[in-house]
Each structure stands twice: as C-alpha cells, then as structure tokens.
Structure 1
Amino acid sequence: MSFMQHTDIGFGSTLTSEGCHFRLHSPDIITLEVVLFDKEGIPTARHSLERQESNSWHVFIRGIGENTGYAFLVTTATGPSAQWLLDPHAHRVQHQPASHPGYDLVTNPEWIAYTTCHDFDWQGCERPAIAPEKTILCEVHVKGYTKANPDLPANLRGTYSGLCHPATLAHFRQSGITCLQLMPIAAKADETHLSAKSLTNFWGYNPIAWSAPDERFASTDPVRECKTMIRTLHAHGIEVILDVVYNHTAEEGDGGPVFHFKTLDSHSYLKDELGQFKNYTGCGNTLDVSHPPMLQAILQSLRSWVLNYQVDGFRFDLATTLGRRQSHFSSESAFFTAIHNDPVLSSVKLIAEPWDIGPDGYQSGAFPAGWHECNDQFRDNWRSFWLHNAPVSAVAPHLLGSQAQFPAQHWPQKYSINYICYHDGFTLQDSVSFNDRHNHANGENNRDGHPDNRSNNQGTEGLAATAAIQKRRGKQKRNLMTSLLFSLGIPHLLGADLHSHSQHGNNNAYCQDNDTSWVNWALSSEEYNFRSWLQSLIQQRQTVMPVIMKAMTGKTSAPATISWLTPTGTPMDDQNWAMRQPYSCLIQADENNALFYLFNPDDYPVRFCLPSSLHSWTCLVDTAEDQLAARNIHQSDCLVRPVSMVILIPASENTGSRLIS
C-alpha cells in the first residue's frame, strides 16, 4: 500500500505497507500523543500528533506493523496534566486489569488498542442474500447460546468458534434458521454500578469501541475468529446481522467514566442548556448523531463491519436517537440520508428498534424506506390475546403485517419485524410460567425490568406445576409461535426459545453471566418434543408464507383477498371485533394458494364452517397437537379444540410434496 494523505484516511489507526496513520477529531485538547506498547504492555515510544484543519489531529509513523499496541495521551485546559484515552475507532482492543502483575494504571492505560490488518481469505464465500419473505431471524448471544452446549469442545463453548462449530451449524440448519441476529459483539465496558456489585454487563449494550470484536468471545485473535465465524455461517447459507449500539457509549452520564469522546469532543453528546448530559437512552448519555464528526465516525464503523467482516445487516438499538437533532426526530435526518446515499450501507438489511426514552421517542412506522422495524405492538397484542382477554380487533391487524405502520405496498423494502420474545423481557417458557418478574439477582430490589409482561403462569407461579398446567403451557407456547410464524412480516425468534429455556422469571438478565442466561441444551423429553415441533413449524411456514406475502403487495397478477368470518361463516360485525371470541381469517392468493386461520381462545371446542368455494382442505397446523402431521379435511366444517388454533391450506395433488408431515 502506498502512503496516503491524512485527508484520505479515516479516524483511528490505518495501516499501510510503510507504517501506520493515526487520526482523531478533537477540538477540546491542547496536546495529543500516541504511545506504543510491546506485547507485555510496556510503553516503548511516544509520538505527537499535529493539529490539522477542522480540529483533526494526525501523525504517520513508519515501520509499524499489525498488532502493535497503542493508546492516546492527552492534555486539556481543565483536566489533569495527562490523561489516557482509548481509540474509540479501534478495530481491536484489550482490557488491562488492574490486578495484572506489575501493571500501574496511573502510568499505564486501562485499555489498549491494536493496529489491525484486515486481510482475510474469504475462500470465495459470498453473502447468502436471503429474500426478506424467506428470512427467519434468530436472536442469539455469542457466549450465552453455546456456553452450556455439551456437544462442543470445552474451549470453544461461548466463543465465535463455538457458534460456527459443526454441531451448532447442524442445529441451525435443522431449525430452518436463515439469519442469526447477534447481540452486541463490539467491545464493551461494565457500568460502574455493576462493577460495584461484582456483576458484569453480559448483554454488551455499553460500547467502548464500536468496530472492535469483543475479546471475551475469542481464544486468541477476536478479529480473525469473528471473520471465520461469519465466513462459516455464510458457507452454510446463514446470514449474520449485528445488533449495534450507536445511541450512547460506555462513558455514562455526568460524573461517569472517561474513555474517549468526553475529553476529545464535548459536542459528541447531547446536552441541555446547563451543560448536563441528556439521557434519552437510559444509559446516562445520548450521542448527537447530527454532529458531523460523530456521524462520520458511526458511518466509518458500519462500513468496516460490512467491508471487513462481510456482515449482512444491522439491528440498531434505540434507533430513534439516530434520527434526532436535539429533541426532534426526522426520517430525513442526516444519518438516514447518509445511509441511503452510501452504496455499501444501503445494500444491507437495516432493522430499527423504533424508540428511545426521549421526547416523542416512540416512532414505530416512521423510519424511511429500506428500514424494517421491530414491532412491540405485535408482541403485546398477541400475548394479550392468548394469555389474557384482548379482543379480536387487537390482533387482527398484526396477523396481516401491521399495515397501519407497514403498508403492504411498501413490502419487501419495509416489513414489520414480528416477535413474541426478545432478549429483554420474559423468554417464551417464562411467559407461560410466571406472572411477575423475579429479578432479585440483579441487585436492584426487583425494581428493574419492565413490569408489564403480558404473561400468564396458567395457574401456578414458577416452573414446577401439575401435569395439567404443563400441558396448557405447552399449548400456549404453540399458539404463540404459530401466531408469530404465520403472521405476515419477518419473524424474529429468540434462540433460547428453541430450547424452552427459562431465566427463572428474570425479565432483565443483562447482568447475569451464568446459567440464567446460558441456554439450556440438556433438554427434557417435553422440551425436546417442543423443539422438534417448532423446527417443523418453521419448515411448514417456509412452504406457504412467501407466496402469500408476495400476493399481499398487490404487485402480482392476482392480488390477495381477505375475509374475516365468525365460526358460522358469516362476516364479522362490530360486536364480534370488540370481543375476545373464536374467529377465522381467509387469505386467498389464487386458486392454489390460500391460508385459512381458525382461532379459538375459548375454553370449549368450537366448530368452524369451511368456505364452500374450496371443497377440500389440508390441516397444516393444529396447536392442540404436540406434533405436526398434515391431514386432509373433506367435511364442511372443522373442530378447533379449546384454547388453540388451526391453519388450513387448499388440498391438491401436490399438497403432499410441499408439506413436511
């Protein structure tokens, strides 16, 4: 590589064949030095950066190669005489614990970054490019998902390598998972209140270096091991979406720790008229993404993940913050415009968590074209329907893709991301086993975590229950998963739910790096049967839903028609919509492709009249059964047992070949 001018390089460290560029933006400091370290963490050299135009600091150091440790040493007008800072743009970082023998945090930094060469053999492997209507998202934590898997070598459990081990890959393939959504893998720091309680931020939503894969998931080299994981998943047809946190950093609020931006550029964070940090994230600070250097830093990080790691997309935590200019949100903000105009970033999958806790923070449906959005209303209303007393009108729109927020004419560029469970909140098993949160282990007197879980323990609090309650719980799990997978939109599964994993009623296990969060792989016969049922359900979904979803857009030769009916076959009226009662929905794409949903939330069986226009049906799903077995229905009605649902499709000569029985 040839020497490049500082105006052509990004923030942080940039290696060339002749040495390394170091560049930071900082209007708030007086002097800036980069200090180099050897493999033992001992300082070996210091180089001053020069202030350039627009408050950019730069130095080129010849002879530096990859894996050279470095940190920045700065002086300011108001701070201490010298202060260590971590490169917020680093591609690899390492925490230097104070207990390290001979290590002095007064004269040495707590965090060291490393120069990184991104050369990697991708072996010709390309991104799978799964169509949205065929996408099955599965949210997993790199460590939590594999840490307790006995089928993995002990040294690979909880690592990038464990997530792409043949045993793990076989599980994903058997489950029909097309896309892993990884909880944050960028380097993080623990909040001060957790450190004081000897707890750790297990989830990782407290970033310290956005572009550096976390070393806690690697045995030696997190950069290479993370790339190997993604390459292996791609080779098996599985996409990778990263859950990314660009709404705040680990520097917390006023009085919190200082790692980089607080000292480098005070304009990085939103502040009020008194100069105090605005806290629209609940984490102490809120990044000002309208600040040009901050916007540039975020775009640089996103492009690094796509270009250097070949990721397939991003899920943006508290994404409303990204569209803010102070308290105002706009779908035409600088961030969204920059993404749209970037040929790299506009080509990957983009998912927004469409809220933060600031003013007008709830922006569901307001994100621009090209952005799918997490749909919490889908979760709340389906849970309320099956587990409580929500009326038909609460869930019917979500069955059809929540088109008030996500109109079908905007599909596939903008879908609802449907989910019943996410990393925050109850798991599926806990949703039917606990009425109340049980978060005492978090050390906050059970005050943390959302109090509104829309859960129902079916009669007994906790996992221990009678056989009758266990049976009802199993059926409700099947109701919720069937409602998820056969609603229009992109289904999002919590990976732990494939294992009936319980967090023992903890609905905010962000600081539980133990078997509360480590997914259970030692399944009971009941748990194993549910996993097999869910795996089959996903496969069944893939046989019919893509065609229906395409027909709903109105862009095909025969747009889909929809009928809402009572069990007797008459159209629903206002009184029917306002009640929690049995009902049916017929989606007719064409004469060969249709879905007929029969819902019975009542505690007694109900017979549904079947449309005479289609004289023969095949039962695809019956949630009263704990196994999937397609069966033909030749009579004019169908019995739906208590608190269950049935999905029918037209019977034809080809039915048997397209169904998994």
Structure 2
Amino acid sequence: MTDSPAAGSLVPGVLPGTPTPLGASWDGRGTNFALWSAGASAVDLCLFAPDGTEQRHRLEETTHQVWHGRLPGVGPGQRYGYRVHGGYDPRSGLRYNPAKLLLDPYARAVDGELRLDPALFGHPADGVDSAVPDPRDSAPSVPRGVVVHDPFPWDGDRPPRRSWSDTVIYEVHVKGATAAHPGVPPHLRGTYAGLAHPAFVEHLLALGVTAVELLPVHHFVSEPHLLRRGLTNYWGYNTLGYFAPHAAYSASGSGGGQVTEFKTMVKELHAAGIEVLLDVVYNHTAEGDHTGPTLSFKGIDNPGYYRLDGANPARYTDYTGCGNTLDVRRPAVLGLLMDSLRYWVTEMHVDGFRFDLASALARSMHDVDRLSAFFDVVHQDPVVSQVKLIAEPWDVGPGGYQVGNFPPPWTEWNGKYRDTVRDVWSGAHVGVRDLAYRLTGSSDLYRSDGRRPFASINFVTAHDGFPLADLVTYEQKRNEANGEDNRDGESHNRNWNCGVEGETSDPDVLALRARQVRNLLTTLLLSTGVPMLTAGDELGRTQRGNNNAYCQDNELSWLDWEHVDEDMRAFVTRLVRLRRGAPVLRQEAFFEGHELPGTGGTRDLAWFAPAGGQLTTADWFDTGLQTVGMYLDGRGIRHRDEHGHPVLDDSYLLQLHAGPEPVTVTLPGPPWADGYGLVLSTEYPRGAPPAPAFLAPGPVDVPGRCVWLLRIERRP
C-alpha cells in the first residue's frame, strides 16, 4: 500500500449493473459492485492499481437503497473501496465523509493493514463532535477489499456431521496453535495451512477431539489504543469484514489466496473427521465508539448499522463493552449477518458457529428478547438452522446474563457450569446440590423448553481468563504487560493457588497443582453435556498469571510445544477415550432418577453420601458436604442408535471428593454393584492405577482432593 495515492478523478463508463448480490461479484467478463446505504447522497467506487493509484467511479444507479454498477474488464485481484457522500452532523448521527476510504462490508478478501494515522478518524482531533468533517484522506492507512473468484474443488469433502453427544470441542487460536510448533514448516506456522498440517492434526486425533472452535477468523484490525502502546489485538474480537478470512493467518498472501487456503484447511480437517466451528463477532465492529476510526459501516450509514443513543445520537448504545452495538433490528443489518452466516456454511463449508456476546444480538429495544427477529430468522433459515449453533449467553448491558434462556436449537456456553466446578475444587463451601445439576447436563437450565443435555457446552477455562495451569497457580492476575496498570481482566476467578502464589519449586505444591488440574479436567470430561477444552490445557500451558492476554501476540499466548507436560497430555487422552467409549457418560436425554425394571431396585441416576446411603434432603442443602458418589446405570439409557436398537452400556460410579483430607466412603453393594473396577483416579499422573484394582462393596479410603471413576461389576 502506498503512502500517497492519486487524488482520483471520476471516470465515466460504469454500466448500471444489478443491486444483488451485495458486494463485488465477477461474472467472467466484469465485476458488479453493490453497496447498501440508506442515507447517502452519492457513492464513489474506488479502484486501486498495484502502485496505489486510485481511480474513482460514481455509482449512478440506486435500487431499494442499494448503490450499484458494473465495470467490464475488472476481475479477480482488483483492490477496491468506497467513498460515501452525505451529511456530516454527528449530533444527528450522520458521519458521512468522502475523505475516508471505506471497506465493503461484503468484501470476500481484504488486503493491507490498518496503520495508525490521524486521517483514520472522521472528525478533527480537536473536536470529536464538531460539525466540520476531517478532510484528510485515509486511503493510505486502511485496508481494501479484493475482488475474489475461487472455484475451489470441494469434490470429496464430507463434513463429519458429528452428533452433539459425540462432540468434544477444542477452542483454539489459528496462529497460536502452530506459531511455535517445531513440526510445522516455518513458512506455514501460525497460518490456516499450519493448522491443517499433519503435525497438528495428528495431535488433535491423538487427543480425541472432534471439533475445533476457532477464535475469530473474520478479518479484524487492532484498536487504536493498542497500536499506540505498540501492541496488537491477538484474539481477534474486533471484526471489520464479516465475509473475509483474516489475511494475516494466510501463508498465501492477501490477494485472495487466503480464501483458498482457508477452504483447504477445512477440507483437510474434515478428511480427518474434525468439524470446524467459528467464533463470530456480530455484536459490534472494529470502529469503536464516537472517538473511533471511520473504516466502513460508520461512514457508509452510521444510523443504519449501529444502535445510537436515543437521547444523544452522537453517542452509541454499548451493550458489548467495545464502544458500539450493531443494530440487528434493522433489515439491512440482519440481512448482512444472515448472508455472512450462509456464506461461511455454503461457500467455506464450516460446521457451526459460536456467537460472541449473543445476548446483544437478541435485544429488541433494551431487554433481551427470546423472540427477537434474529432468533426467528435463524430458526427458519434452511442453511443456518442445520449447523451447530452456540451462544455466549451474556453481554455487558442490563439483564444481559441469559444462561439457560436461549431457545431451541441453540446450545450455550454454560457459565454456571464453569463457576460451580471452579468453586467446588477451589475449596468453597458450596455443597453438592448445584454440582449435581452441572454433572448431569444442567436440567434446571435446559429441560423446561425441550432442549436436551447437549444444550450445555461445559467448560472450566476458555481463551478469556487463566489457562488451567494458572488457575491453580495464581489467585491474583498479573496483566501488567497489557499496559493498563493491571486494571483489566477478571479479579474474581473462583480459584485457589494451592497455598503458594505463583511459580514454585516445591514438589508437594507442584504435585497438588497437577492433581487439581486433573480433577478439573475429569469433572469436565465425565459430565453430561458437551465438553470444551481450551487449547494448551492438555499441554500444561501457562500465561504466567496474565488472565486477559487479548493483546499478547507472542510466546505468552502461543501453544508451547517445547515444554509439554506429557503426563497431562496422556491423562486427557485417556479421559476423552473413556468418554467416547461410554454412552452413559454422554447421554442424549436427561436422567429421570427412576427405578429400572428388572434390576432389583437400581435407578438410572442415584447419589450416594460418604456413609453409603443415598443423599437425604439435609445432605442436599449441606454446604459443608464435599464428597459425593454419582451412580450411572448403563441399562437405563433411553436413546436408540441409528438402527433403532436400544443403547446399552456399562454402569459407573463417579466418586468425587473435594476435601483436603482422605475420607472413608462406603461403596454400595447389591443391587447397585457386586464389585467395582477402578478405571481412573486423579491420584495418578496419567490417571491409570498402577495395577488393575478390584474393590468390594464396603468402606474404602479415598485420597484428599481426588476423583475416582469406578466401573460397576455384577455377577452373571
């Protein structure tokens, strides 16, 4: 990108073209350009030569608020943007300024980086709400769209189509996955091609995960406040282009090759039996608040794209904590969102989405509305409704915490699961009542509206917060490297440092920390619902106490392949294998707690106190109780396989003890069991007892802070 493109005179010769589809569409002989703007008075299409020279074409045709035109001879690889004319009156919400080059919201690829410059801003530096627009040309400092034509050979691509009950999600950052992987060629590290490289795919397969959930891959830019501090946005929750794969993750360059590379990655992961889910950010954009840059939507139609403050339209309604909120109540914005989702399913072959701050999308006026237009449109869409849909069911606005309130067919990040499991293992006296709900699919949250246990996406850690190794090492965040005086990041993490803050060489503390990580992972992977692992937790990855590493694009955030905790990796692999081989641990229907005919009085689900009897009402409300046995009878599974045959499975007793000291528990005898085989114990670094252990019914000693998985044995 050159520093000083030509001023760009208007060039005649634009044919009328068509208002659909939106974006830039090549037909083999020319390209049709179409841009929605309800309030513009004129729109200039700007084409850029390789040397940066700009040529402007006035789009004379408008149809239903869409400005359109066709240019013969313009084809794939052409860089372009728009300049939109109209009123500039921030007090009325109008921010049109043709001095600012704007990215097409429908651009399929993006070229160039955002460079911090005063010209990015639509207002003069000395007057944010001035009625005088800033006259400086932003073109040298902003990304541009690229005309793309990619007839990708999808032949043979077979999406795995995993059922929810078979799904194990691996949340991972495209760059961070392989940026430091020695088995990936240097030129492919940190790219889409790197993620699909056999060295990384083999790790996924060995681990047993069935889906990768990629942190944002829609093209994003870094916030000005980060650029001023010499940092960048690493996580990617600052979207600018909802159709374009992020160019910096491509080993193929940014001239459209990123589209082919992304598709190749999807096809390779599908061939390995792994689904691809995208973390998508439709709640806000990279343009921030009224002080933010003018890059696309703000200059195309500010009141048409954003929710403005009714009392002061110069300001934005911010339900996201990021400065602005997209106004999904408006048909053009809702259409943009749905067009984007369908594009990623039909053209890019992804298998589902996780919606960041999804409550912001559900707001009709101020409240979160379960029947908002967004939900209605998604539910009836023949494409989007058929893929995996995951909501992050909260935003930062009033009433935004909506765990359990999203309608079918949505699943949800279960924040209550995370909080409960952390509380239990950090030593908080919370009893076992809430834990019982979380272990069995959270029926209290998801049963009433007809959803099933897999509506609960269970997780203990995510990209946002401490990784598991840090969750048991630090109680105080250490975010100084972010340049915000350690004010950012969550201060209440529901965790315990095992008695020593930070790194230590004490072998007893290290052993306890490792066991606590195993306890958290075991609880996660043996709970009913859909487990989500955070990439690196299986490797022992640390962020050295930083619990908000969103701006740390370095070794602090990347997966560390040099210092791998091989015991932990083997432990997680064993857990996932156990889960996959035991249908009773991943049920598709909620437990009933009813007696099973012909079993002598057992139930599909039962809860046992340490003394051996089933939990009493007093036990359920005893906040000091830290020990519980969960009995799961495999003869009580109520779903059938694809051929209609009942699914039968072994029965198990999960014995969980969060107290610090060993405890004597009484294993129940007949009809519950004639004996027990110890399948897994978090007492051991890799989970496997040193020798096959048979335990008779009766008293046994369970170590402090330990989980046992016991297979029920019955006499013939």
Structure-1 residue corresponding to 2:65: 55
- Residues 119-128 or 195-204, more deviating: 119-128
Structure-1 residue corresponding to 2:369: 330
Residue 22 of structure 1 deviates from its aligned partner by 1.0
Residues 297 and 636 of structure 1: CA distance in aligned 2, closer, same or farther (over 3 Å): same
Q: 15, 33, 45: which is aligned to 2:26?
A: 15
Counterpart check, 1:573 vs 2:610:
no
Counterpart check, 1:287 vs 2:323:
no
Q: Supply the distance in 2 between the matched residues of 1:334 and 1:548 (Cα, whole angstroms).
A: 33
Q: 554, 557, 561: which is aligned to 2:604?
A: 561
The question of whether the paired residues in 1 share the 8 Å contact of 2:666 and 2:697 is answered with: yes
Q: SS of 1:32's equivalent?
A: strand
Q: SS of 1:284's equivalent?
A: coil
Please give the TM-score of this superposition, normalised by the length of structure 1.
0.93
Counterpart check, 1:633 vs 2:694:
yes
Q: 35, 46, 52: which is aligned to 1:35?
A: 46
Q: Which amino acid aligns with 1:530?
A: M
Q: Which amino acid aligns with 1:93?
A: V
Structure-2 residue corresponding to 1:585: 630
Residue 647 of structure 1 deviates from its aligned partner by 1.3
Q: 518, 533, 539: which is aligned to 2:577?
A: 539
Residue 68 of structure 1 deviates from its aligned partner by 1.1
Counterpart check, 1:138 vs 2:195:
no
Structure-2 residue corresponding to 1:250: 286
Q: Supply the distance in 1 between the matched residues of 2:515 and 2:609 (Cα, whole angstroms).
A: 23
Q: Deviations over 1:304-324 (max 9, x none)?
A: 111111000000000001111
Q: Supply the distance in 1 between the matched residues of 2:553 and 2:215 (Cα, whole angstroms).
A: 14
Q: SS of 1:310's equivalent?
A: coil
Q: Supply the distance in 1 between the matched residues of 2:288 and 2:325 (Cα, whole angstroms).
A: 9
Residue 645 of structure 1 deviates from its aligned partner by 1.2
Q: SS of 2:248's equivalent?
A: helix
Q: Supply the distance in 2 between the matched residues of 1:239 and 1:546 (Cα, whole angstroms).
A: 23
Q: 162, 175, 198: which is aligned to 1:166?
A: 198
Q: Which amino acid aligns with 1:395?
A: L
- Residues 55-64 or 374-383, more deviating: 55-64
Q: SS of 1:248's equivalent?
A: coil
Q: Which amino acid aligns with 1:646?
A: W
The question of whether the paired residues in 1 share the 8 Å contact of 2:110 and 2:143 is answered with: yes
Residue 529 of structure 1 deviates from its aligned partner by 1.0
Q: Supply the distance in 2 between the matched residues of 1:354 and 1:558 (Cα, whole angstroms).
A: 36
Q: Supply the distance in 2 between the matched residues of 1:419 and 1:439 (Cα, whole angstroms).
A: 23
The question of whether the paired residues in 1 share the 8 Å contact of 2:175 and 2:189 is answered with: yes
Please give the TM-score of this superposition, normalised by the length of structure 2.
0.86
Residue 356 of structure 1 deviates from its aligned partner by 0.3
Structure-2 residue corresponding to 1:71: 81
Q: Which amino acid aligns with 1:321?
A: A
Q: Supply the distance in 2 between the matched residues of 1:465 and 1:572 (Cα, whole angstroms).
A: 41
Q: SS of 2:665's equivalent?
A: strand
The question of whether the paired residues in 2 share the 8 Å contact of 1:400 and 1:487 is answered with: yes
Q: Deviations over 1:8-62 (max 9, x none)?
A: x23211222232111111122221011112234332x332223523311111222
Residues 374 and 412 of structure 1: CA distance in aligned 2, closer, same or farther (over 3 Å): same
Residue 408 of structure 1 deviates from its aligned partner by 8.6
Q: 218, 226, 232: which is aligned to 1:194?
A: 226
Residues 109 and 199 of structure 1: CA distance in aligned 2, closer, same or farther (over 3 Å): closer
Q: Which amino acid aligns with 1:588?
A: D
Q: Deviations over 1:172-225 (max 9, x none)?
A: 000001000000011111111111111100000000101110111112221111
Q: SS of 1:506's equivalent?
A: coil
- Count of aligned pairs: 645
Q: 666, 685, 689: which is aligned to 1:609?
A: 666
Residue 412 of structure 1 deviates from its aligned partner by 4.6
Q: Supply the distance in 1 between the matched residues of 2:665 and 2:500 (Cα, whole angstroms).
A: 32
The question of whether the paired residues in 1 share the 8 Å contact of 2:250 and 2:261 is answered with: yes
- Residues 409-418 or 129-138, more deviating: 409-418
Q: SS of 1:82's equivalent?
A: coil
Aligned identity (percent) is 36
Q: Supply the distance in 2 between the matched residues of 1:224 and 1:71 (Cα, whole angstroms).
A: 22
- Residues 393-402 or 493-502, more deviating: 393-402
Structure-2 residue corresponding to 1:657: none
Q: Supply the distance in 1 between the matched residues of 2:176 and 2:585 (Cα, whole angstroms).
A: 35
Q: Supply the distance in 2 between the matched residues of 1:450 and 1:556 (Cα, whole angstroms).
A: 42
Q: Which amino acid aligns with 1:156?
A: L
The question of whether the paired residues in 2 share the 8 Å contact of 1:132 and 1:412 is answered with: no
CA RMSD of aligned residues (A): 2.4
Counterpart check, 1:262 vs 2:298:
yes
Q: Any unmatched runs of 5+ in structure 2?
A: 1-14, 89-95, 118-135, 598-602, 637-648
Residue 96 of structure 1 deviates from its aligned partner by 4.6
Counterpart check, 1:234 vs 2:270:
yes
Q: Deviations over 1:207-252 (max 9, x none)?
A: 0101110111112221111111110000000000000000000010
Q: Supply the distance in 1 between the matched residues of 2:589 and 2:454 (Cα, whole angstroms).
A: 16
Q: 365, 374, 378: which is aligned to 2:404?
A: 365
Q: Supply the distance in 1 between the matched residues of 2:468 and 2:116 (Cα, whole angstroms).
A: 41
Residue 123 of structure 1 deviates from its aligned partner by 3.2
Q: Supply the distance in 2 between the matched residues of 1:176 and 1:649 (Cα, whole angstroms).
A: 21
Structure-2 residue corresponding to 1:658: none
Q: Deviations over 1:572-617 (max 9, x none)?
A: 2344232232221212231753221111122222232223212022
- Residues 600-609 or 131-140, more deviating: 600-609
Q: Which amino acid aligns with 2:654?
A: Y
